Structure 1
Amino acid sequence: MAFGTITLTSCDSDDPEPITGGTTEVMENLDAGILNGTLTEDYTLSSTTTYSLTGQFIIDDGATLNIPAGTKILADNGGTDVYIATLMGGTININGSAGNPVIMSSADGNPGDWGGGLTLCGKATTTAGVDATAEVGGFIYGGTDDSDSSGIIRYLQISGTGAQINSESQYNGVSFYAVGSGTLVDNIAVINGDDDGVEFFGGTVEVSNLYLENNSDDSIDWTEGWNGSITNAYISNTVEGFSTVFEGDKDNGNPQFNNITAVSTVGGTALQFKKTSGGTIDGLSLVGYDVDLDMKDGGATSNVIFSDGYTPVAMVEDDASTTDVDESVYTFALNTSAVATVDLSDFDWVDTDISFESSLLQGAVTGDVTLDASIAYVLNSSYIVQDGGKLTIPAGTKITARDGGTGVYIAVLQGGQIDIQGTATNPVVISSASASPGDWGRFNNLW
C-alpha cells in the first residue's frame, strides 16, 4: 500500500485545521478502533468494536465506509473539530436495524460535545450552484445529478452534536449538502443537538421515519431550494429556548412533508418560513406551541400548502391599543389536529429517557378517559374531546393551565362528551398558576 498525504484546506480561518494523515496510518487506526483522517479506499467497521472518533474523519471521492448494525462510535468532546463527513463521490453505508441500531455519540451525549456530527456532500442541484462551498469544512457540493447517491443511512441514533462555528455557520446533527434522491435515508434519531437536528442545503434526498428530540435550534431546517421529502417525523421539545420545529429559508423548492407530529411542553414556535420559502404539508399535528406558523419575513402564507385544509389565523397583540404589530402580522395559529399522526411507539428502537407524564393533559381524547382527583394535572396545550370520546373529571380534581395564551384550552367537539363532577364542597378547579386574565384559553371559538 502506497504511503501518501492528503490535505483538505478550508476557506475560512474559523474552520477546523487542515487534515493530514497518511493512508497507511488511517487504515492502521481503523484496525485499532480509531476514526481519524481521510479514508481513500473501502473499509468495513466491525460491530464488535467500539470505535473512537478522535477528530475529523472524511470519506473521500471513490471511497466507501460500511457500518454494520450494532456498531458504536464514541466521539471525543472536541466541539467543531470532531465529525464524520462524506465528500462528493464518497459513500457511507450505515446499515443499522431496529434491534441493533448504529450509535454515534459522545460519552455523555451532551449538546455540542462533538459539534461536527455527520455531513454528506452530494452532486444534486442546489440554488447555490455547481461546486458550491459548504459553510462547514469548506467542502465542495452541488452538481446536476438529482438521482445521485451518497449511500445508505438506516437506523442511526446520533447524540450530543451541533455547535456554532461563527455567526453564519453551524454544525448540525446530520447535514445534507445537495444530497440526491438515490441516497436511502430511513430511521434516524437526532437527540440533544446544540443546533439543528437535520438540515438540507438544496438536493432532492427523501427521508422517512425521523425522530428529533431537544435540538436547541431548529429540528428540521432547509435552504437552497431543497425539494425532497420527509415522511413520518416525530419531534419533541421539552427544553426551553429552542428556535423552531421547521425552518425553511430562501428559495421555495416546495419540499413535501407527510405525517408530522410535534409536541412541546415548553411552548415556542412550530413552523417558520423565511423569505419566499414554503412547502406542502399533509398529516400535521402540533401540540403545545405558542405560535403554530411564523412567516418570518412577511412571505405569503400561500407558499405553505396544508393538504389537510388548515387555514392560518393571524395572531394579534394582547394589547389592542398598541401600534407595534411588526411581529404579530407574521404569526398565525393553525386549527391542526390534536390527534398524533405519528405513533411514538414507531421509534421504540431509540434509546431515550423522554416521557410525557400521565399528569400532562394535551392532545386528543378519542375514547373514555377519567381523570384521578389525587393527581395534580397540568394543561399543557389544547386538550380536545373528539367525536365519540368522553372526558370525566371527578370532584376535587385540580388542573393548572400553562400560561400559553390562546394555545392552551379544553374543547369538546360535536359528538364528544365531558362530565365535570364537582360538588359544592369539592369543586373541580381549572386555572393558570397566577389566575391572571388571559393566561390561557381564548381559542375555543375556532372549534
Structure 2
Amino acid sequence: MKKRFLPLALALIVGFGAASCTVEINDGMGDSTTVAPGTSESVLSGTGTLKGTIAKDLLIKKGNYTLDGIVKVTNGATITIEAGAIFNVVTTKTSALVILNDGLIDAQGTANEPIVFTTSTKTPGDWGGITLYGEAPIKALNGNTTAISEDGNALSYGGNNANDYSGIMKFVRVEYAGKKIGDGTSETNTFTFYAVGAGTVLENLVAYKGTDDGFEWFGGTVSAKNLVSYGNFDDSFDWQDAWSGQNNSNWFAYQVGTGNFGMEIEASSNADNIAPKVNNLTLIRAAGTNPEAANSPEISAIQFKKQGSGIFSNVYISGYKNIGAQKAYAVLIQDGATETSQVNTGKIVVSPMTYLDADNAGVWGYAFTPNGGKTFTNTTTVTKVSLTPGAWATVDGVNLLAALQ
C-alpha cells in the first residue's frame, strides 16, 4: 500500500544506499514522520531538500526545493516530479541528479509550468546537471560493449536492451551545469545519457549556459524531440560510442558568448555503426561568439570524426564565420577514415540545408587532404525549427526562442 503525507513537509533526507532507504520528513518544528523501508512511496509537498540516495518511490509535488549534493535514484525506485517544481541546486559542493540504470525518472512539466533546475549564483559550471543511465547497446573504443562513465561516478555502462526504459522527461530546463570533476579538467554535461534505450521519452528539454556540452549521448538508442541548447560553452550537441537514435526532431542550438562546435559527432572509431537521424535542425551562432580556447579551430557548425555518422534533414545554419586564421564550415570532416567509411557510403548526409551569414559556403571542410571532397547546394527552402513558446524556454525574462522568429 502506498502512503502519502499531508503538505507539512519542509525537508527530506534520503538515506545512503538501499540498506538505509529510510525517508525522514520533517515539519521544521522538531517533529518528524519516518517512513519505514517497506513503504512504496513518499511525498515531498511544496518545499524541502533532496539529497542522498533514493531507493524507494518518491513523488515531488509542485513547489520550491533544494537539491543538495549528488542525488542518485536506484533500487527500482521512480522519482516523480510534478509540473512547476523548481530546484535550487547547492553549489558549495558537487551536486547532480543521477538516474542509475535500475532507477527511473518521471518528470513531466508543461510549456507554462516547466520543471526547472537552477542556481542562485547563476554561474555556468555551478553543478553537474542531469545524467541518465540505461541498458541499451553501445560500441565503445575497440568495439567494446561496455565502458566506464566520464561523469565522476566511474560506472560501467552498456547493455543489450535496445528498447530499455529509463523514464520520461518533458518540459525540463536545466541551467548553469557543467561542473568540473575528477582531475579538475573533466566536466559534466547539462544532460548526459549513458546507454539510454529507445523506450525512454525525451521531449522539450532546455540546456542553458553549461560549461560543457548541452546534450551528450554515450551510445544507446534513445531519441529526443524539441531540444534547446542555449549558450553552452563546449558543443551544443555531442555523441560517441555509436549512439543510434532514429526518431529525433526539432533541435535548436543558439551559441552566444562562448561556444565550440555546434555539433561534435563520433562513433569511437567504429566504422560499423547505425547513423542517427535528426529531422529539423537549426544551429545559430551569435556574432562575437568565441571558442573556449583562443585560436581554436572548434568553430564549425557540425564536425564528424572517428567514424561518426548522422543523417540530417531540413538543416538551417547561420552565423558560423571564420575567426582569424581558423575557418568555420557548415560541415567539417576531421579524418580520412570517416570520409571513406561514412561520407562515401551515405551515412553522413546534411540535406537539404540553408547556410546563411556564414563563411566557406558551398564546400565541406576537411582537416586533412580529402579523398575527393564534397560540395553541396545551399538551398533557400529550409526554414528554422518551430518550437512551442512559453515559460519552459524563458530565463529571467529572456525568450530563448527569439532567434527562431
Q: Same fold (TM over 0.5)?
A: yes
TM-score, normalization by structure 1? 0.67
Aligned partner of residue 107 in structure 1, secondary structure: coil
Q: In the superposition, relative to structure 1, how do residues 27 and 147 fare at CA in structure 2: closer, same or farther (>3 Å)?
A: farther
Which gives a bigger RCO, structure 1 or 2 (Cα 8 Å, sep 6+)? 2
Aligned partner of residue 33 in structure 1, secondary structure: strand
Partner of residue 343 from structure 1, selected from 386, 397, 400: 386
Partner of 1:57: 71
1:321-361 deviations in whole A, cap 9, x for unaligned? Answer: xxxx8599999885445653302555663113556999xxx
Match status 1:67 vs 2:88: no
Match status 1:214 vs 2:214: no
Partner of 1:260: 281
Partner of 1:231: 249
Q: In the superposition, relative to structure 1, how do residues 41 and 330 fare at CA in structure 2: closer, same or farther (>3 Å)?
A: farther
Partner of 2:58: 43
Aligned partner of residue 196 in structure 1, secondary structure: coil
1:160-217 deviations in whole A, cap 9, x for unaligned? Answer: 0013334774200010000001101110011101100010000000100001101100
1:207-247 deviations in whole A, cap 9, x for unaligned? Answer: 0000110110011100001000421011111213x111111
Q: Distance in 1 between matches of 2:214 and 2:169?
A: 15
Partner of 1:163: 179
RMSD over aligned Cα atoms: 3.4
1:393-415 deviations in whole A, cap 9, x for unaligned? Answer: xxxxxxxxxxxxxxxxxxxxxxx
Match status 1:192 vs 2:209: yes
Partner of 1:406: none
Partner of residue 140 from structure 1, selected from 130, 141, 156: 156
Aligned partner of residue 110 in structure 2, secondary structure: coil
Are 1:98 and 1:349, in contact at CA under 8 Å, matched by a contact in 2?
A: yes
Are 1:187 and 1:210, in contact at CA under 8 Å, matched by a contact in 2?
A: yes
Partner of residue 112 from structure 1, selected from 116, 125, 131: 125
Partner of 1:202: 219
- Answer with 1 or 2: which has the greater Rg: 1
Are 1:264 and 1:289, in contact at CA under 8 Å, matched by a contact in 2?
A: yes
Partner of 1:269: 300
Aligned partner of residue 181 in structure 1, secondary structure: coil
Are 1:185 and 1:208, in contact at CA under 8 Å, matched by a contact in 2?
A: yes
Q: State the Cα distance separating 1:296 from its structure 2 match.
A: 2.0
Q: In the superposition, relative to structure 1, how do residues 244 and 35 fare at CA in structure 2: closer, same or farther (>3 Å)?
A: same
Partner of 1:433: none
Partner of residue 23 from structure 1, selected from 21, 24, 29: 21
Partner of 2:348: 304
* Structure 2 residues without counterparts, runs of 5 or longer: 4-13, 27-31, 33-42, 290-298, 322-328, 355-360
Q: State the Cα distance separating 1:101 from its structure 2 match.
A: 0.6
Partner of residue 91 from structure 2, selected from 65, 77, 82: 77
Partner of 2:8: none
Partner of 2:313: 282
Match status 1:101 vs 2:128: no
Q: Distance in 1 between matches of 2:206 and 2:17?
A: 32
Partner of 2:40: none
TM-score, normalization by structure 2? 0.74
Q: Distance in 1 between matches of 2:49 and 2:362?
A: 51
Q: In the superposition, relative to structure 1, how do residues 304 and 34 fare at CA in structure 2: closer, same or farther (>3 Å)?
A: same
Identical residues among aligned pairs (%): 29
Q: Distance in 2 between matches of 1:207 and 1:329?
A: 34
Are 2:330 and 2:364, in contact at CA under 8 Å, matched by a contact in 1?
A: no
* Structure 1 residues without counterparts, runs of 5 or longer: 8-20, 317-324, 365-447
Partner amino acid, structure 2, of 1:313: V
Q: Distance in 1 between matches of 2:275 and 2:54?
A: 36
Partner of 2:260: 243
Partner of 2:333: 295
Are 2:49 and 2:66, in contact at CA under 8 Å, matched by a contact in 1?
A: yes
Q: State the Cα distance separating 1:292 from its structure 2 match.
A: 1.1
Aligned length: 335
Q: Distance in 2 between matches of 1:346 and 1:334?
A: 33
Aligned partner of residue 262 in structure 1, secondary structure: strand
Partner amino acid, structure 1, of 2:286: T
Q: State the Cα distance separating 1:74 from its structure 2 match.
A: 0.8
Query: Which has the larger displacement, 336-345 or 153-162?
Result: 336-345
Q: State the Cα distance separating 1:78 from its structure 2 match.
A: 3.8
Partner of 2:133: 121
Are 2:283 and 2:317, in contact at CA under 8 Å, matched by a contact in 1?
A: yes
Q: State the Cα distance separating 1:46 from its structure 2 match.
A: 1.6
